[in-house]
Amino acid sequence: MSYNVLLAADAREYVSLLDEKSTRIVKDNLRKLAEDPYPRPGAGSGDREKLTVDGEEIYRLHIGRTHTAFIVEDDSEVRVIDIMDIDDAHKRYG
């Protein structure tokens, strides 16, 4: 099964501000979610962990050692609701 990967406005803005290499790395990793929305540690495409934020279940996905994407998914979509620097993500979501 293939999923549609959708980026929220905040996520698109973050990616647009990155340098060329970082943009490529982030986009390549997000594209992988279309085929495998559940990456695991050691899979080479980040690792995913479930979090509960304000009563909502979301997932965080580390991209390299620099970026973190926050995603939600349903039957056919993976929605990237935010992407931020990994240090900012740890401060915000623990």
Q: Rounded to an integer, what distance in angstroms lies between the CA atom of residue 39 and that of residue 94?
A: 20
pLDDT at residue 42, rounded to an integer: 57
38-89 tens-digit pLDDT: 655 555 555 678 888 788 888 889 898 899 999 998 888 999 999 999 999 9
Q: What is the DSSP letter of 81?
A: E
**Amino acid identity at 80:** V
Tokens of 14: 């973050």
CATH number of the CATH domain containing 36: 3.30.2310.20
More confident residue, 41 or 12: 12
Q: Decide if pLDDT at 32 tops 60.
A: yes
Total domains present in the chain: 1
User: Chain centroid to CA 65: how far?
Assistant: 13
Q: Rounded to an integer, what distance in angstroms lies between the CA atom of residue 33 and that of residue 64?
A: 15
pLDDT at residue 14, rounded to an integer: 97
Q: Domain range spanning residue 22?
A: 4-93
CA triplet 61, 67, 71: central angle to 5 degrees? 35
